[in-house]
């Protein structure tokens, strides 16, 4: 039987790897089986480039595409290139209006702006392990001085519910934002999401819209799950994410990605 190549978009944290940062061997094998069958497995994550490339290596994904920074950065993967990839799109925005507004409401929060392919510039240290790459503490003026692909606003003492209320109360205009499962707020250029970047990837690959699958677990996956012909929410996803998905699979700790991938073989 001939398999019609699908574009299979996979979130990372809470989907492909557990919240403890571990990838199950059965998940790894299932991803490889789907890729080896001819499907276009595309990692689509809020992670930066430097935090995404180790996942690509672990999955032996050397060709195709990857979507980083919640859709603001798209990579073309090619093992012949020095870094193994090239940035084919990086959408930036002026972070100053949103950051200054947020800072006035939560002055104790810490802020990170992505330094593309390097790491992050931060207002103060983040909790250990939350950011990858080179981390440099800089003055506030430097954080807001130049256009960036993504901003992360983090309050280690807050909750996700605090941040959802904050975002709704102050009204973040001209940007796209998503609240994480902790007090973590990612801000991207307006109109940019995993879904918007994946649509560009789909056109590059020449895959028909009917042959698109996406699996995710968080609010930054909403647009991606709605974009896909088959959007699958992880069992550990919030109710609002499950509500937009076409189906729900098992929890990440129960290797919920595996039955979804096996259904493509």
CATH of the domain at 166: 3.30.1240.10
- Domain range for 124 is 96-189
* Least confident span in 130-139, 165-174, 224-233, 253-262: 165-174
Out of 172, 189, 206, pick the residue that ends a domain.
Answer: 189
Burial of residue 247, with CB atoms counted within 10 A of its CB: 0-12 exposed, 13-18 middle, 19 or more buried: exposed
pLDDT digit string, tens, across residues 30-42: 999 999 999 999 9
Q: Structurally, how many domains does the chain consist of?
A: 2
Out of 143, 158, 189, pick the residue that ends a domain.
Answer: 189
CATH of the domain at 20: 3.40.50.1000
Position 11 in a domain: yes
Which pLDDT value is given to residue 166?
78
Same domain, 163 and 224: no
Out of 127, 162, 189, pick the residue that ends a domain.
Answer: 189
Same domain, 16 and 67: yes
β pairing state of 7-10 and 40-44: parallel
Separation between Cα atoms, residue 121 and residue 129, nearest integer Å: 15
pLDDT digit string, tens, across residues 63-114: 999 999 999 999 999 999 999 999 999 999 999 988 888 888 888 889 999 9
Burial of residue 125, with CB atoms counted within 10 A of its CB: 0-12 exposed, 13-18 middle, 19 or more buried: exposed
Position 2 in a domain: no
Separation between Cα atoms, residue 259 and residue 247, nearest integer Å: 12
Same domain, 78 and 206: yes
**Does pTM surpass 0.85?**
yes
Same domain, 85 and 110: no
- Residue 52: strand, helix, or coil: helix
Q: What is the spatial order of strands in the sheet that 85-90 belongs to?
A: 85-90, 73-77, 64-68, 40-44, 7-10, 212-216, 230-233, 247-248
Highest mean pLDDT among 167-171, 218-222, 230-234: 230-234
């Amino acid at each position: 039987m001939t398999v019609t190549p699908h574009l299979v978009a996979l979130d990372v944290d809470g989907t492909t790897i557990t919240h403890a940062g571990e990838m199950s061997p059965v998940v790894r094998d299932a991803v490889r089986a789907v890729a080896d069958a001819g499907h276009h497995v595309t990692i689509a994550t809020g992670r930066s480039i430097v935090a995404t490339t180790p996942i690509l290596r672990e999955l032996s994904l050397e060709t195709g595409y990857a979507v980083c920074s919640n859709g603001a950065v798209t990579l073309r993967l090619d093992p012949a290139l020095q870094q193994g990839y090239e940035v084919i799109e990086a959408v930036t925005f002026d972070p100053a209006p949103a950051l200054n507004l947020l800072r006035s409401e939560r002055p104790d929060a810490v802020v990170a702006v992505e330094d593309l392919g390097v790491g992050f510039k931060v207002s103060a240290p983040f909790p250990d392990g939350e950011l990858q790459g080179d981390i440099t503490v800089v003055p506030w003026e430097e954080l807001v001085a130049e256009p960036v692909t993504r901003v992360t606003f983090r309050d280690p003492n807050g909750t996700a519910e605090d941040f959802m209320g904050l975002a709704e109360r102050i009204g973040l205009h001209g940007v796209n934002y998503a609240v994480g499962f902790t007090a973590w707020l990612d801000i991207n250029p307006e109109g940019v999401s995993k879904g918007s970047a994946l649509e560009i990837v789909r056109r590059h690959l020449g895959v028909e819209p009917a042959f698109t699958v996406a699996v995710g677990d968080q609010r930054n996956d909403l647009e991606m799950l709605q974009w896909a012909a088959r959007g699958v929410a992880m069992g550990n996803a919030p109710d609002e994410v499950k509500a937009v998905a076409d189906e729900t699979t098992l929890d990440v700790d129960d290797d919920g990605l595996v039955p979804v991938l096996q259904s493509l073989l």
